[in-house]
Structure 1
Amino acid sequence: MQYGFDLAAVGSLQAMPGFLKVFGYPDASSDTGYGIDSTVQQLITSLLTLGSFVSSLVAGIFSTYLGRRHALWLACIVNAIAVGIQIGTTTPGVLYLGRLLLGFANGFLVTFSNIYTAEVSPGHMRGVMVALFAYWVNIGSVMGAVVDNKTKDRLDKLSYRIPLACLYIVPVLLFAALFFVPESPRWLLHRGKERDARKALEQLRGSSYATLLAPSSDSESDENGKAGNTTVVPTLLEIEWAEMVKGVQEEKREQGSVSALDMFRGVDLRRTILCYCMIGCQTASGVWFLIGYQTYFFTVAGITKAFEFSIMNTCFGFLGVNVGMYAIRELLGRRSILILGAIACGLCQLASAIAATVSPASLPTGQTLVAFTALFMFFYNGCVGAASYPVATELVSSRLRAWTVGTATSLGYLLAWLVNFCTPYFINPEHLNWGARYGYIWFASNVLCVGFFYFNMPEMKGRSLEELDEIFAARVPARKFREYRTVIRETARIDAVSAKGVGWLRET
């Protein structure tokens, strides 16, 4: 929510008279009576991206010593300092410092919220729970646009200080809530804190995982759960705990100590490449091109309510996230929904480019752009946006998750900056003057994404993180993931039964 609010709210500050009075200059030719230097504009945007890039890049170092929860606390503290600097200053140089620090906080919030959620979610719910990232980004974007719309006509400093002050809300609530949230059990196990990890898992699962699994119809030996005529049946919690412990032990025995360079060795190299490509496909969809320049195209094509249509498209994106989360959980799984999303995003980009080719800068073209941009936001947020972070966090091993997801997130910020930097040279009249025909390039990149998802992306729906470790270690091809039967699930069941015995069954 913090990330989405910042994208929507701060991006519009540069059109507010109250903000331009302080950080711009008088300009009689402008509708607001003020202008802003292009260097100031670039630094306000790029320094936030730079801060996010740096913090995501070093996330693995912090995670090694701090864990997921303390890293989020640190992000909340840095966020509070950064927002205070931006609210209090009237000097561009100090404003730049605030933007850089805010970017650092945002990078930690994005990286560690996704890592934590992926690690503590039950396997059958992980896709939906990590997809809540996209859900709350859209809610934050809607709220940011609404706040800006309410304050944009003010002529005093409160016009931009009110939206900035709203950036305190989420971190303050998160800072307090983290006192009631346990650390990631998987991180604790990797640090050798088995008792704390068990306590954290019990707190996370509560009584919902105390139910008994149905006994297997297969005959088993005494050591596998038979005691006289009674079959010992472990609870879901015991199964998950035994599986988690066994997975961590296997990793430590096979891989030894953790190094950042392990991301590029052995079976982890494949997982790292898949994770990087998944985050790269977000940018390859063309989403940053439309987010940054849709209002510009609407205005050029004669659409008089460009700002309102931009809010409408954000709402379409929010609707898409809701549909996408249901589809991930109940219908399609990860791989199919990613393929569908890339196809739909590519066709929307192609339709907009064709309209701009046939009749540039006309009202029908503007109406076409509005329609297909809305469809793009629906399918991007419902498919690629909803599934990308669940997939990226599942793809990598637990011991390297902070390193791999952190550096992948940094790559995402770098690609977003690259798109924002290069797009003006393609669309502006004084350069290539492609306008919305730039969509041809994004259609082609979406076609490449479809090929990547089809041939290389495995289906991981319903698998535990430890099962995925076993499947990748076995070097199973992407198309055979779904039918592969893992050993760790059955051995974890046996271990859970052996640890508890008949007396535990009778008590239960």
Structure 2
Amino acid sequence: MGNANDEAIQHIGKDQHEDLHEQSKVATDIEHSLGVIEAVKLYPMAVVWATLFAWSLVMVGYDSGIIYSFYALPAFVKKYGTYYGPEIGYEVSAKWQNVLGMGTPVGQFLGAFTASWPMERWGRKKVFAVSLFFTTAWIFLQMFANDIHTLAAGEFLAGIVYGTYVVLAPTYASEVCPLALRGILNAGMNLAYVIGQFVASGVGKGVATRTDQWAYRIPFAVQWTWIPILAIGLYFAPESPWWLVRKGRVEEAEVVLRRLAKESPKVDIRATLANIQATTLHEIEVEKDTTYLECFRGSNRARTEVAIMVQIWQVITGISLIGYAVYFFELAGLPVSASFDMGVGNTAIGFVATCCSWVFMSFFGRRTIFMYGVGGMAVALFIIGGLDCAPNYSNRPGFAWAQAALLDILTFVFQGTVGPVNFVIFAEIGATRLRSQTVALATSSGSIFQIVMTIAIPYMLNASAANWRGKTGFFFGGISVIAVVWCYFRLPETKGRTFEELDYMFEARVPPRKFKDYKIMNAEDGTEA
């Protein structure tokens, strides 16, 4: 895969190896000297284009949130549900609720797993354009579905495209932005997802009083509003310079780099290009190919482990419980109206927390934020579980309100730490030639566990099943403790490291706990840190 291009790059690298190496050092020094605010001023268009690609995740968050609100809409239930007699009336069966809920995560798994091949073959822009086209078509299918079978097919097909966006957006952001902005812009992926969920909550509330078919068709149609904006922006967006270099289109890559940055003594386009070429050349010498198998060979194995595990921990340490916030509030004994109000407030807390994560990442490393975030979640979850064991719990509403408050705290901790930092880590941890494959593996793995949680949590919470209520906190709290132990031993600190530096450190088998203070010169002279 891409052997001809690799040989061309390797030939250039051999002829100009020393020059590339020296210029690459200049680029690395400049990258390390830039602060966040200065980087934004110097690379404003990199921020614009990364934000454009991230906005596609608003659709992903919106779709995941809107489908569950339909079950409370009489028009939707009458159209797609079954009549169970005068006592129950129309209802979408548990079976079909499960099918509709599973359509998107199953589709995302398939879409994420298959996204890397077209991204590497045809580039980020073309794949994004095709994805927008199919998104438009699948929204039409969802909006005008005549029966629940067609609607389920639409959810699944849309999920495939959404899986592509989840791989595409963080990959592109990592490849167009400078080191100082890599964390903040990738954390913005989580913000886009939260915005989508927040919009879904507002739209769901807005159509709640309608009794006609537009009660459920309007929410589907809302998704079309984003596509023209994304399509117009995509027309002007540049291709990834890293992808262009790997394809041997070095001159085009230089043009793109000049489009991303302003002219300044702090910006050396030739040095940045040399850094991309040198890193690519080094990875060609180390790696055999760019297949999924290569992600599990040599030093790439540890990188793939990190990418996959941070995504899995993100799914199974509490986010699934947060997704059932309104239902959890009801089970805890809060009034229905108060539960919905708390649900909207919970989403708003997530938005604020994600914005706060940008501040956290300016002062702390990825490893620190992720590990302490999971630890904080464990504490909140154990307290939620402990309150549920209090004597005479059902007759003491104060405990229910305390659990609701703790779930809001859990949301803030998650959306301020684990949620956004997860995007940052799995987007930057893989080798540049294997980035799309690494992100795809991480996203697919997360989708698998999301499917498991989608099936398991209703059984944990439902009164007719395990009826754990708040005791579910013990389950997720225990998993969070295991995650903390894994983070301590296996999660490296990647903040402030260029992709070239990460290559050398993983190849030198630097222990994950020592990444933060490791001196890269030690890797070059063969001594230990």
C-alpha deviation, 1:487, in angstroms: 5.6
* Structure-2 change in CA distance of 1:115 and 1:275 (3 Å): same
- For 1:2, which of 59, 62, 68 is the aligned residue? 59
How far, CA to CA, are the matches of 2:328 and 2:132 in structure 1?
36
Give the match for residue 232 of structure 2.
176
Give the match for residue 265 of structure 2.
211
C-alpha deviation, 1:206, in angstroms: 3.2
Give the match for residue 442 of structure 1.
476
Give the match for residue 34 of structure 1.
90
The one-letter code sitting in structure 1 at the alignment partner of 2:330 is T
C-alpha deviation, 1:489, in angstroms: 13
Q: TM-score, normalised by structure 1?
A: 0.88
Q: Work out the number of aligned pairs and report it.
A: 462
C-alpha deviation, 1:488, in angstroms: 12
- 1:74 correspondence with 2:105: no
The one-letter code sitting in structure 2 at the alignment partner of 1:352 is I
Give the match for residue 306 of structure 1.
339
Give the match for residue 150 of structure 2.
94
Query: Do the aligned partners of 1:118 and 1:126 also contact (CA within 8 Å) in 2?
Result: yes
The one-letter code sitting in structure 1 at the alignment partner of 2:415 is N
How far, CA to CA, are the matches of 2:416 and 2:332 in structure 1?
27
- For 1:186, which of 238, 242, 245 is the aligned residue? 242
How far, CA to CA, are the matches of 2:172 and 2:408 in structure 1?
32
- For 2:354, which of 301, 321, 329 is the aligned residue? 321
How far, CA to CA, are the matches of 1:308 and 1:129 in structure 2?
31
Give the match for residue 295 of structure 1.
326
Give the match for residue 201 of structure 1.
257
C-alpha deviation, 1:300, in angstroms: 2.6
Query: Do the aligned partners of 1:467 and 1:489 also contact (CA within 8 Å) in 2?
Result: no
Deviations 1:425-458 (A, max 9, x none): 3233333322220110111111111112222211
Q: Where do 5+ consecutive residues of structure 2 fail to align? A: 1-57, 525-529
How far, CA to CA, are the matches of 1:473 and 1:339 in structure 2?
24
Give the match for residue 497 of structure 1.
none
Aligned to 1:460, the other structure's residue is in SS state coil
Query: Do the aligned partners of 1:301 and 1:360 also contact (CA within 8 Å) in 2?
Result: no
How far, CA to CA, are the matches of 1:478 and 1:488 in structure 2?
16
How far, CA to CA, are the matches of 2:109 and 2:214 in structure 1?
30
Give the match for residue 248 of structure 1.
280
Query: Do the aligned partners of 1:17 and 1:153 also contact (CA within 8 Å) in 2?
Result: no
C-alpha deviation, 1:68, in angstroms: 1.5
Alignment of 1:27-426 (within 5 A): 27=84, 28-30=86-88, 33-207=89-263, 210-212=264-266, 235-292=267-324, 294-304=325-335, 305-328=338-361, 330-358=362-390, 359-361=392-394, 362-426=396-460
Aligned to 2:223, the other structure's residue is in SS state helix
* Structure-2 change in CA distance of 1:259 and 1:300 (3 Å): closer
C-alpha deviation, 1:402, in angstroms: 1.0
Query: Do the aligned partners of 1:76 and 1:175 also contact (CA within 8 Å) in 2?
Result: yes
- For 2:463, which of 429, 435, 441 is the aligned residue? 429
RMSD: 1.8
Aligned to 1:286, the other structure's residue is in SS state helix
How far, CA to CA, are the matches of 2:508 and 2:251 in structure 1?
30
How far, CA to CA, are the matches of 2:118 and 2:351 in structure 1?
32
Q: TM-score, normalised by structure 2?
A: 0.84
How far, CA to CA, are the matches of 1:170 and 1:483 in structure 2?
44
Aligned to 1:266, the other structure's residue is in SS state coil
Which structure has the greater CA radius of gyration?
Answer: 1
Deviations 1:3-34 (A, max 9, x none): 2211222221121111112101335335xx52
* Structure-2 change in CA distance of 1:406 and 1:264 (3 Å): same
- 1:478 correspondence with 2:512: yes
Give the match for residue 505 of structure 1.
none
- 1:451 correspondence with 2:508: no
Percent of pairs identical after alignment?
A: 26
How far, CA to CA, are the matches of 2:82 and 2:486 in structure 1?
48
How far, CA to CA, are the matches of 1:299 and 1:431 in structure 2?
16
Q: Where do 5+ consecutive residues of structure 1 fail to align? A: 213-234, 491-508
Deviations 1:25-68 (A, max 9, x none): 335335xx521112221111111111111010111222221222
How far, CA to CA, are the matches of 1:375 and 1:103 in structure 2?
30
* Structure-2 change in CA distance of 1:309 and 1:29 (3 Å): farther
